[in-house]
Amino acid sequence: EEVFSTTNGFSVTSLLRHGTYGSVYYSLLHDQVEYTIPENGDGDSPHVQKANIPIEKGGYLIYGTAHMHSGIVNVTLYGQDGRTLCTSTPKYGRGNEAGNEKGYLIGMFVCYPQPGSIKIHDGEILALESRYKNEFCSGAMRHFYIYLAEELP
């Protein structure tokens, strides 16, 4: 396990897993685990947080998702050249039963790109952008997880 911090408050943890093709798991976590979105009269435009995150060892993106809390609009991970690598959107409950409570965040959609379609290069600086509803919210987060395959079958 290797942990390093960026200059903008993100800790990047990489866990190297040796397998047939090898893979690298990155956990992109902000040092400020939770933060508060202040009350704002302009509820139409989202509250946006951006950060640049260096990726030491690249590979082919095979999985990506975010861990967020209620109020999230979406989280997008961009490549250094501005291409969209993955957008994770929320799934809100619609019922009354446990795990599907109406209006509550019950999951985040996951990106499974076509194998070989997205390459992240060694040393590439990724951009992470989280968009929340622009209203008071405590406990907001901006965490993202990716798996990179070193090789493809």
Average pLDDT for 51-74 = 84
Q: Is 65 helix (H, G, I), strand (E, B) or coil?
A: strand
Asked if residue 27 lies in contact with residue 12, where contact means CB atoms within 8 angstroms, the answer is yes
Q: How many domains does the chain have?
A: 1
* Residue 3 confidence class, pLDDT cut points 50, 70, 90: very low
Q: Above 50 in pLDDT, residue 1?
A: no
Q: What is the pLDDT of residue 131?
A: 85
Domain hosting 123: range is: 2-149
What HEC string does 73-117 produce?
A: EEEEEECCCCCEEEEECEEEECECCCCCEECCEEEECCECCCCCC
Q: What is the pLDDT of residue 151?
A: 80
**Mind listing the pLDDT tens digit for each residue in 90-128?**
898 999 999 999 988 888 899 999 989 999 999 999 988
Q: What is the pLDDT of residue 32?
A: 54
Q: What is the mean pLDDT of the chain?
A: 77
**Mind listing the pLDDT tens digit for each residue in 6-37?**
444 444 555 444 444 455 656 665 555 566 77
Q: What is the pLDDT of residue 2?
A: 43
CATH code of the domain in which 59 resides: 2.60.120
Sequence-separated (6 or more) residues with CB below 8 Å from residue 39: 135, 136
**Mind listing the pLDDT tens digit for each residue in 63-74?**
898 887 777 788
